[in-house]
Structure 1
């Protein structure tokens, strides 16, 4: 039982991190109605900015406090992501208003390659580390209940709590604020939103900035765990099954989908791996997503699209 709980907790914590990346996909889709292929590149770009600024700030200013240097680096990295959002709106999306969804999709694919190239040109292509003081030592829980207790990685625990807090805040932002309602209106119909006075360009800058913030937090967490390197952008691929399960239009769906994927891949690797030769954790999420596409394409919490003629 202790081993099962250990795997369960590990899956839940990994699932929250998947949800954090999936949140960026959901945010962009809810505001523009297009799947954002650039989210993985945004995670890499934000992580590179954070890693390099946290190194450059002490060199530029002589600040010795690592905490203060990290805070300044975070603010600068977030400012960079806002500038990126503004440039994306001015140079790409603002010129494609009311175009077909496939046009916007291809635009985000191009943005992904631009961010990958520009990020490595400005910040470098080496493997960098991010140290924001997250505890890395494991801890044991319920030692009096199970022999040896349940092993929990403190870094994963802190990261999952941060991810959960951000998901809750963004859920409230979408549901309770006028800007959140405007974002949903823009996603439903660009022309109708413009006709009632919603500034489409400003809304897109806001939502890409918020998605950039989510990418920055995800980049810091994953960069702290894995190091900041080009392969970090591939972590976003694990978020694809999450949004397929949860639904592209549902913030709560990103949470539930992430938890299902995280727990499912951990338990399947442990209990089904011996029968299939291992490696299930790599492909489990994609097979589950494929099954959902065949049965319920809109996901568990997504809105069913009904075409009227």
Structure 2
């Protein structure tokens, strides 16, 4: 029983980080129709930006976080304005190739300035073990789960209640109709990239705290694809469910079967979902007539 509880906490914490990372992916896809293959690199940039401000420049924690958010918004805005906006009207494969190139560029920039060796970062949260229903888990895992839950809740309320969130949902549903009622589609596009970069920043910081500041964060970002395929490319609730499901599944397979298989199982789920329900569990089924 103790092993089961420990795996549940580990799985939920990693699943919550995955949900944060995948949320940015879904935001961009819903608003702009762009499949962003650089989402893992956004996590990487977020982790190293925060590390630079907090550890290298030794700024206070809150100041480092604010700087990270500002830089994330700037990076998201620059990518949307100068890289993706000129691609409007181009084929989907061209846009996909641009985001793949962007991923390579961001990864190369991080390696250029920081190298490839993992860097230790002071712990954000306590690392002592605590007992939860008989299972021993690091306290930082519980803090990660709490912070991710708060951020996901705030973002969900933003989409449901705020004027800008409603505008983003309107653009996602019908761009032409949104434009007729005075909603700036370009502004919504820029906002979606900015919010995606912020969610990736928070996910990258939380991941770096429980692991390390390293290039391997990118490979964790690749798990975004099984998450969004499982939950649905255009579903925010599906993203949360998909992230927690993949996190729990990976933890259980690693704990009870084989850690090597745990690295593959998310992509097995991805293939199965594409074969059985390609629009995801919560995704909208689209029928195109030609």
TM over 0.5: yes
The 2-side partners of 1:76 and 1:296 are apart by 41
What's the counterpart of residue 52 of structure 1? 52
The 2-side partners of 1:155 and 1:75 are apart by 21
What's the counterpart of residue 37 of structure 1? 37
**1:124–1:9 CA distance, 2 compared to 1 (3 A):** closer
The 1-side partners of 2:161 and 2:93 are apart by 31
The 1-side partners of 2:78 and 2:262 are apart by 38
What's the counterpart of residue 213 of structure 2? 228
| Contact kept in structure 2, 1:261 and 1:285, CA below 8 Å | yes
What's the counterpart of residue 77 of structure 1? 68
Displacement of 1:302 in angstroms is: 0.7
**1:117–1:195 CA distance, 2 compared to 1 (3 A):** farther
What's the counterpart of residue 264 of structure 2? 283
Pairs within 5 Å for 1:1-309: 1-58=1-58, 69-122=60-113, 125-131=116-122, 133-142=124-133, 149-273=134-258, 279-309=260-290
- RMSD (CA atoms): 2.1
| Contact kept in structure 1, 2:124 and 2:209, CA below 8 Å | no
Displacement of 1:141 in angstroms is: 2.7
Give 5+ residue unaligned stretches, structure 1: 59-67, 143-148
Give 5+ residue unaligned stretches, structure 2: none
The 1-side partners of 2:225 and 2:9 are apart by 22
The 1-side partners of 2:140 and 2:167 are apart by 36
**1:285–1:192 CA distance, 2 compared to 1 (3 A):** same
Structure showing greater radius of gyration is 1
Structure 1, residues 15-72: CA drift from partner, whole Å, max 9, x if none?
21221211121111111112111111111111111111113433xxxxxxxxx61211
Displacement of 1:202 in angstroms is: 1.7
Task: Tell me the SS of whatever aligns to 1:202.
Answer: helix
